[in-house]
């Protein structure tokens, strides 16, 4: 048996804890065997719990700080409730966003609507005081605002999303299985930020994958595929609007 719990066990533990340490809610989590793995090799989710690195250090066999009884209690009543939030740690000094194979360059103290659908800004970037800032709104297919990044702070409704995986330089939020709402990754080596996701807004659906961006509406009125574009010095990158029953997709 591998020491690492299977993916479905890890996900079950994240979901029951509302995507954070059961003791403090911190979204950076590790998987702890309340009945120690060294005593019995198991990955039984009923006898495991998610903890942040700090609380995990206090739950080991040589620590008295967090007893199994306390952990079982916290597992039933996790620190996180209906909404989770955390800062998103990136400090990119390059005014560039990569969306699939597309690039948006920003100027100093300028912002750009990376994705605007029917006058709603779903993704916005700005470059303020030499640092890149990031804002997004993530709606469910049913039209509910379920997750947001607001000036590099992210938050999500725990019952509105299926799963959240968080590391300081990377966040991944799922609407449903196989439906990634949003993934943002910051590579501190190259200082670049990349994003992908499935954005729903009213009857418009925008899918951003590493290869391309696809835009379509329920009615299938208009479909557009965008790749290898570079936008410099514009107010918006991708704008989807509706005029007299006709969809208009504008780039740059």
**CA-based R_g, the chain, Å:** 21
Q: For residue 42, which of 33, 51, 29, 50 has the smallest C-alpha distance?
A: 33
SS3 letters across 27-94: CCCEEEECCCCCCCCCCCHHHEEEECHHHHHCCCCCCCCCCHHHHHHHHHCCCCCCEEEEECCCCCCC
Surface-to-core class of residue 13, CB atoms within 10 Å of its CB (0-12 exposed, 13-18 middle, 19+ buried): buried
Q: Determine which residue in the list 29, 50, 52, 249 makes contact with Zn ion, applying CB under 5 A.
A: 52
Is residue 156 at the binding interface for Zn ion, with CB under 5 A as the rule? no
Is residue 21 at the binding interface for Zn ion, with CB under 5 A as the rule? yes
Residue 84 CB, shortest distance to Zn ion, in Å, is 13
Q: Determine which residue in the list 55, 75, 137, 207 makes contact with Zn ion, applying CB under 5 A.
A: 55
Nearer to Zn ion by Cβ, of 26 and 122: the residue is 26
Q: Determine which residue in the list 9, 12, 16, 24 makes contact with Zn ion, applying CB under 5 A.
A: 24
247 vs 220: CA distance, rounded Å = 10
Residue 59 CB, shortest distance to Zn ion, in Å, is 10
Q: Provide the b/e sequence for 193-205 (b: ≥16 CB within 10 Å).
A: bbbbbbbbbeebb
Residue 53 CB, shortest distance to Zn ion, in Å, is 8
204 vs 167: CA distance, rounded Å = 30
Q: Which region, judged by CB under 5 A, interacts with Zn ion, from 8-16, 19-27, 64-72, 188-196?
A: 19-27
Give the CA count within 13 Å in the CB-facing half-sphere of 63.
Answer: 14
Q: Which region, judged by CB under 5 A, interacts with Zn ion, from 51-59, 68-76, 118-126, 230-238?
A: 51-59
Residue 24 CB, shortest distance to Zn ion, in Å, is 3
Is residue 27 at the binding interface for Zn ion, with CB under 5 A as the rule? no
Neighbours of 223 (CB within 10 A): 11
Residue 131 CB, shortest distance to Zn ion, in Å, is 28
Nearer to Zn ion by Cβ, of 13 and 52: the residue is 52
Give the interface size with Zn ion as a residue count (CB under 5 A): 6
Is residue 23 at the binding interface for Zn ion, with CB under 5 A as the rule? yes
Q: Which region, judged by CB under 5 A, interacts with Zn ion, from 24-32, 111-119, 120-128, 158-166?
A: 24-32
Nearer to Zn ion by Cβ, of 74 and 116: the residue is 74
Q: Which residues bind Zn ion (CB under 5 A)?
A: 21, 23-24, 26, 52, 55
């Amino acid at each position: 048996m591998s020491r690492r719990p299977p993916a479905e066990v890890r996900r079950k533990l994240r979901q029951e804890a509302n995507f954070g340490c059961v003791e403090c809610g911190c979204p950076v989590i590790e998987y702890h065997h309340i009945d120690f793995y060294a005593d019995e090799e198991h990955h039984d989710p009923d006898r495991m719990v998610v903890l942040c690195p700090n609380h995990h250090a206090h739950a080991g066999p040589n620590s008295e700080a967090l007893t199994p009884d306390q952990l079982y209690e916290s597992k039933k009543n996790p620190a996180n409730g209906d909404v989770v939030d955390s800062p998103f740690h990136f400090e990119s000094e390059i005014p560039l966003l990569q969306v699939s194979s597309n690039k948006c360059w920003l100027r100093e103290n300028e912002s750009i609507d990376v994705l605007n659908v029917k006058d709603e800004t779903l993704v916005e970037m700005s470059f303020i005081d030499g640092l890149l800032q990031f804002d997004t709104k993530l709606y469910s297919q049913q039209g509910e605002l379920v997750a947001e990044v607001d000036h590099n702070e992210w938050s999500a409704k725990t019952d509105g999303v299926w799963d959240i995986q968080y590391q300081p330089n990377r966040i991944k939020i799922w609407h449903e299985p196989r439906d990634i709402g949003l993934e943002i990754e910051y590579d501190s080596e190259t200082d670049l930020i990349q994003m992908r996701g499935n954005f729903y807004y009213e009857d418009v659906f925008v899918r951003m994958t590493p290869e391309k961006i696809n835009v379509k509406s329920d009615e299938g009125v208009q479909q557009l595929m965008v790749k290898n574009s570079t936008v410099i010095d514009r107010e918006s990158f991708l704008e989807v609007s509706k005029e007299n029953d006709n969809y208009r997709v504008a780039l740059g």
